[in-house]
Structure formats: C-alpha cells, structure tokens
Amino acid sequence: MRYLKGGVVATQTKSNTALMTGNEAVVKAALAVGAEMFSGYPITPTTEILTEWSKAAEKDRDLVYLQTEDEPAAGFVMIGGVSMGKKAWTATAGVGNVLMQDPLSMAEAMRFPTVTYIGQRGGPSTGTVIYSQQELNLTRMGGNGEGLRIVFAPSNLQELYDLTIEAFNAAWKYRFPTFILSDGYLAKTYGEVNLWQPKKSEIVPAESFFLNPKKQPNNIRNCYSLEEELYEALMRDFKDFAKMSKEVATSETLGDKKSNLLVCAWGAVGNSAKTALKELERQNISVKLFRPITMRPFPVEELQKAAEGAKEILIIESANGQFGRIIRESLYGISEAKIHRLYKPAMGIMPEEIQAKVKEVFK
C-alpha cells in the first residue's frame, strides 16, 4: 500500500479488481469512503455518475439522491446536506462547472467540506461534450473568491478511484471545497480498477456544523458588513490553507534525474507522457517527467526540484497555456531553461505526438 501526503490513496496488494468505466469507479469510491448524499443535474460526460448513484440509492435507502432543476441548485443542495452532517457531493462538467461556481464560492467562504467531480469538456460555452483540459483555471480558482480549494487530478482509472477517496478525506479533514478534476476520456474509459476498501479508521467522518451540541452556538458567515471583518476572516483562511498545502500538495517525478529535458504534463495527458517516457527510454533518449497530482495546492517545491539542472522544459496540455502559466510562474526566477510547448486545446494528445516533440526539442 502506498500513501500520498494527507491521507490514504493506495492499491492494496489483495486483488479486488473489476471492469468498469471511470464514472462507475468514482461512484464506487464515494461509497467506499462513506458518501451518503448526492445532488446533481445531468450533463455529458458525467451523467452516468447520477444514474449509478441512483441505482445504489434504490438498493440502500440510507443513501440520499436528488436530481435538481439545474446545476446551481445541485450545488446549494449539496451544501445543505453538508451543513446537516451528511457526507454530500456532486458532479458536473463544462457549462455546469461555470453555473455551479456560485454555490462553490459560497462553500469556500463558509469552509464547507464539499466534494465535486468535474469531467472536463471542450469550451467555451456548450463547446464539445467529451474532452479538454480547459477547466483548470475555473476549477482551481473559482468565482468571486481566492481559490481556497483542493484540486486532485487523476491520470488513469485507478487514480480516479484512489483520488476520489482521498478527496473526501481531504475535504472533511481540512474543510475546504475539494475537487476531482477529470475529463470525458477518463469518465468513459473502460478497464480494470482495484476496488480496495479503506479501513474505518482511515475515513474522516462527517459532522453537522449546525446541529452539533459541542459547537453551539455556531455562526458560520457568508456575508460581511465591514471590509475589515472579511479581511480578518480571509487572513485566517489563508493561514489554514498554507498549513494544509504542506500536507496535501503532491506530485510524481519520473525518468532520468540528470536529463537536460524536463517534460511537464498533468491528468490524462500526464498518462500519455508516461507511456511516451517508457518508449523514449527504450530508444536511449533521456527525459525527466514532472506530473502534479494536486493542481491546487500546486506542488511548487517539487516542481522546482525537478527543474534543477534542466536546460529545456516542455509543457504539454490540452489547453492553450492554462497549465503552462502555472509552471512558468512557479519557476520564475528559479530556472533559466528554455520553454517549449505542445498545446492542443480541447484535443487529446497521444504518446507518439509527445515522442515526436521531444525528438524535435533535442535536434
């Protein structure tokens, strides 16, 4: 079993594998970590999460399911459930992610431990309905707030399951809105998933923030009359976020540590990069890969360490620089490496394309 900072996310050695889609794996993980309530509105490519949860709720009457009239309503219903002590969550994508920013910003302001699954699709507006990495800025920073959020970015089916469990634990441990930032490719992929079950002691329990005698009276605010009051509240939240970040920010660095080329990729593109890395190694081409697992808080120190000695940095993403801006900002004044880009907004990136770009950089 392996661990990420902040909690358990592991594939147990004891086999408990099953074939399923990414959307099904997310629901299985939510149930494994004790989720009790789901509110949502259908939207491709995450609609199967609603249907799978509704099937589970038909069998288990202790589970709550509500299909709301729209995405903002789904977000506010989730907050209502959380405030009463339910381990509640939701799922959406694309335009639904935009519409849900009002309740999610409210959760951020009131420090409610919400969990939201995002299946990215191409934008702007209705766009396409399957894939992109164009919701990174939106999910990380949200609406009218400071982006005090936790965002996990799975790269394959197993991580989708693992990091969903991690997301629920992180949300209730640190009391920040938490996201599983996935995409339509992962949602629809069908494959093997090890459905390991966390022990009861490894699950952070939910609690009511209003019906808790130990915490009465409990005044949780979302509206401030004075600027100074909001400022003081934000300073407390910033302090908590900084402390949490040291425990949660996670990444992986693979390949030749002494390579002059650092490749940076995340999510499903990160998985393509890992496949490309293996083939490049077989061709005796030395490459180092940095893949963030948390997109917020971003693992800045790990990136800076990975960039040590690199003369070339290749940033790869299915957007036009949303990820690239994070990389460049994190390395500003730290690295003088030349930046190369493989940006394909709203399109998947295959391992062969990454190999070709790496070879082009080395020419």
DSSP calls for 303-327? HHHHTTT-SEEEEEESSSSHHHHHH
325, amino acid identity? R
Q: 3-7, 41-45, 252-256, 321-325: which has the minimum mean pLDDT?
A: 3-7
State how far the Cα of 68 lies from the Cα of 353, in Å rounded to an integer: 42
**What is residue 199's predicted lDDT score, i.e. its pLDDT?**
96
Q: What percent of the chain has pLDDT over 90?
A: 90
30, amino acid identity? A
pLDDT at 207 over 80: yes
**What is residue 280's predicted lDDT score, i.e. its pLDDT?**
97
- The model's pLDDT over 76-126, given as tens digits with 9 standing for 90+, comes to 999 999 999 999 999 999 999 999 999 999 999 999 999 999 999 999 989
State how far the Cα of 294 lies from the Cα of 323, in Å rounded to an integer: 12
Domains of the chain: 3-248 (3.40.50.970), 252-362 (3.40.50.920)
**What is residue 208's predicted lDDT score, i.e. its pLDDT?**
87
**What is residue 211's predicted lDDT score, i.e. its pLDDT?**
75
- The model's pLDDT over 209-246, given as tens digits with 9 standing for 90+, comes to 777 767 665 678 889 999 999 999 999 999 999 999 99
**What is residue 213's predicted lDDT score, i.e. its pLDDT?**
65
* Helix 157-174 × helix 227-248 angle, to 10°: 140
Higher pLDDT, 168 or 217: 168
pTM of the full predicted structure?
0.95
**Backbone φ/ψ region at 344: left (φ over 0), alpha (ψ -120 to 50), beta:** beta
State how far the Cα of 235 lies from the Cα of 228, in Å rounded to an integer: 11
pLDDT at 1 over 60: no
Max Cα distance, the chain (Å): 68
- The model's pLDDT over 264-300, given as tens digits with 9 standing for 90+, comes to 999 999 999 999 999 999 999 999 999 999 999 999 9
What sign does the CA torsion over 77, 170, 61, 90 have?
positive
